[in-house]
Amino acid sequence: MINRELRRYMSLLDKIDKHNVPRHVAIIMDGNGRWAKSRGLDRTEGHKQGAISVRKVVEAATKAKVDYLTLYAFSTENWLRPEEEIQTLMELMVHTVANETGNLIKNGIRLQCIGDIQRLPEKTRDALNRCIEQTSTGKNLTLVLALSYSSRWELTNAARSIAADVKEGLLDPTSITEETVNRYLATRELPELDLLIRTGGDIRISNFLLWQAAYSELYFTDVFWPDFDEESLYKAILDFQKKERRFGKISEQLEKENS
């Protein structure tokens, strides 16, 4: 049974065009609580199972030769959740990061974080910083955790920083372009977002990478995050490869450019 399942996953991986793999994939990991509720379990059990899915998907992304994988792990709005759930999530994050650091190093995976990290508990920040430092030489995949992050927070911060630099005479307001804005975003060191995936059945992007998703392909699935596995990721990538990415142009223009 196990060998048959492995062959099925590999067959999906083998179908992926290695010349057209999305370089940067982002995922809104939704459905942990509903997954637990549907099984009569506490919400925390859904988060624990979701952590297992993170490991599976990170390994699958590495096999598929994705360069950057950004996971929406905790939004600024999530601070409004019950204190007990927030505490459980932070403790789970510390535990997971500590346990997974060795695997990340072994698999050449570099960890980075974006968001209002200073709002995180000191213990959580310390665990993340240790992992970021220890995995800094990873070359196979950059795993980005969006923690205490939202696009409105990011864009507000960017606007403040731009305004401050204009006031100091460091930036000419008439010279501001899209590239200028990009340099002030939390994702300034990341490549363009190619594919945005959301699990859990909702069709919205929930204040996540709003600027970056302007021309990304969107993929929505009813699968709850704890059930999202290697096969699920490969399906999303295969769907991405069916799309014609025109970026405002027409098909005939693309054909001429690629000929």
Q: In the numeric block, which tokens belong to residue 190?
A: 């990341």
pLDDT in tens, the chain (259 residues): 556 655 655 578 999 999 999 999 999 999 999 999 999 999 989 999 999 999 999 999 999 999 999 999 999 999 999 998 999 899 999 989 989 999 999 999 999 999 999 999 999 999 999 999 999 999 999 999 999 999 999 999 999 999 999 999 999 999 999 999 999 999 999 999 999 999 999 999 999 999 999 999 999 999 999 999 999 999 999 999 998 765 555 455 555 555 6
| Strand 68-75 with 109-114, pairing | unpaired
Answer yes or no: is 186 within a domain: no
Catalytic residue flag (residue 78): yes
Answer yes or no: is 172 within a domain: no
Catalytic residue among 3, 17, 20, 78: 78
Answer yes or no: is 142 within a domain: yes
The total domain count for the chain is: 1
Q: In the numeric block, which tokens belong to residue 13?
A: 């991986």
Binding site as annotated, residues for substrate: 31-35, 43, 47, 75-77, 79, 81, 198, 204-206
Answer yes or no: is 206 within a domain: yes
**CATH number of residue 58's parent domain:** 3.40.1180.10
Binding site as annotated, residues for Mg(2+): 30, 217
Q: How far apart are CA 229 and CA 56, in angstroms?
A: 6
Domain region containing 215:
21-150+192-243
Q: In the numeric block, which tokens belong to residue 90?
A: 């932070």
Phi, psi of 75 (to 5 degrees): -90, 165
Answer yes or no: is 35 within a domain: yes
Answer yes or no: is 208 within a domain: yes
Answer yes or no: is 115 within a domain: yes
Answer yes or no: is 163 within a domain: no
